[in-house]
Amino acid sequence: MKTLKSAPPTALLGMLILAAVLVTGVFAPLLAPYGETEIVGVEYEPWSAAFPLGTDNLGRDMLSRMIYGARNTVGLALLTTGIAFTTGAALGMLAALKGGWMDQLLSRVIDVLMAVPPLILALMLLAIVGASIPNMVAVIAVIYIAPVFRLSRAAAMNVVSQDFIQAAQLRGEGTLWLLRREVLPNISSTLIAEFGLRFCFVFLFIAALSFLGIGIQPPTADWGSMVKENATLITFGDITPLIPAAAIALLTIAINFIVDWMLHRASGLKS
């Protein structure tokens, strides 16, 4: 509670928005007035008491799909970020601790991954393995292992050169113990802030792939694909397609508010 009281208004606003999105996603079946794929009216029905945000190109309730989209888009982004972050951070710390051929091998593999633009690499890999949710999660996780590896390795290099690491090695402590008890606690603040930042990138990446038609596949509700499916309405001056786009932007800004505060705390600077 003391930490929260010291948070700036922007960070508190970000936490409030993030909490609202998470609650909406978790309780989507209870909050949504209609089913995720249920056709409840005619195509592109205007806003009304029955359909507060109108209907989409197939006659599905836009509000219900926005609510379910919070679960699908944000949930998959969290899962993908968790996989990429856990794997990349572990490999980065291991490379820094072990050094030698292991560091060189892992670093060269990461260099290859980072040499190809992420979107092009994702399009290529998804064209090979097929566009499905498990494949999309795996491909994006592999792509974002690289930047997490580079950050965790750089942060861990400053730790493994310290005397207490050498003392622990002389005591006969194993690699796993050193990573878990010595390296990780000393770089945890940096990694936590990076997790929030990396979640933003993954979240936007999933939305972009869905907008291009190779991410989350219909009829699953997703904020990115909802923009594409209802883009025709913009021609007629209807802002409905901009609502999922605004939700994507709002959540991204909220997370950046939180990350900025966490980075400020991690730096040790005073306000």
Query: How high is the pLDDT of residue 42?
Result: 87
Q: In the structure encoding, which two tokens stand for residue 109, read together?
A: 């593999």
Query: How high is the pLDDT of residue 139?
Result: 92
In whole angstroms, what is the distance from residue 223 CA to residue 245 CA?
7
Averaged pLDDT score across all residues of the chain: 86
Residue extents of the structural domains in the chain: 2-267
- Each residue's pLDDT, cut to its tens digit, for the chain (271 residues) gives 666 677 788 888 988 998 999 999 889 999 999 988 888 888 888 888 889 988 888 889 999 999 998 888 888 989 999 999 999 999 999 998 888 888 889 999 998 888 888 888 888 888 888 878 889 999 999 999 999 999 999 888 888 887 887 788 777 777 788 888 888 888 887 888 788 888 888 888 988 888 888 888 888 888 888 888 888 888 888 888 889 989 988 988 998 888 888 777 766 555 4
Query: How high is the pLDDT of residue 11?
Result: 86
In whole angstroms, what is the distance from residue 20 CA to residue 109 CA?
39
Looking at the structure, give the CATH architecture of the domain made up of residues 2-267: Orthogonal Bundle (1.10)
Q: What is the pLDDT of residues 217-240, one digit of tens each?
A: 888 888 888 888 888 888 888 888
Nearest Cα neighbor of 220 from 64, 77, 80, 81 is 64
Q: Could you tell me the CA-to-CA distances from 164 to 177, 181, 188, 196 in Å, in that order?
A: 13, 11, 17, 30
Query: Cα dihedral sign for 87, 93, 96, 98?
Result: negative
In whole angstroms, what is the distance from residue 39 CA to residue 232 CA?
19
Query: How high is the pLDDT of residue 174?
Result: 78
Query: How high is the pLDDT of residue 132?
Result: 84
Query: How high is the pLDDT of residue 1?
Result: 60
Query: How high is the pLDDT of residue 84?
Result: 92
Query: How high is the pLDDT of residue 23?
Result: 92
Q: How far apart are the two ends of the chain, measured CA to CA in Å? A: 18
Whether the bond into 218 is cis, omega within 30 of 0: no
Percent of the chain with pLDDT over 70: 96
Residue 22 near residue 31 (C-beta atoms within 8 A): no
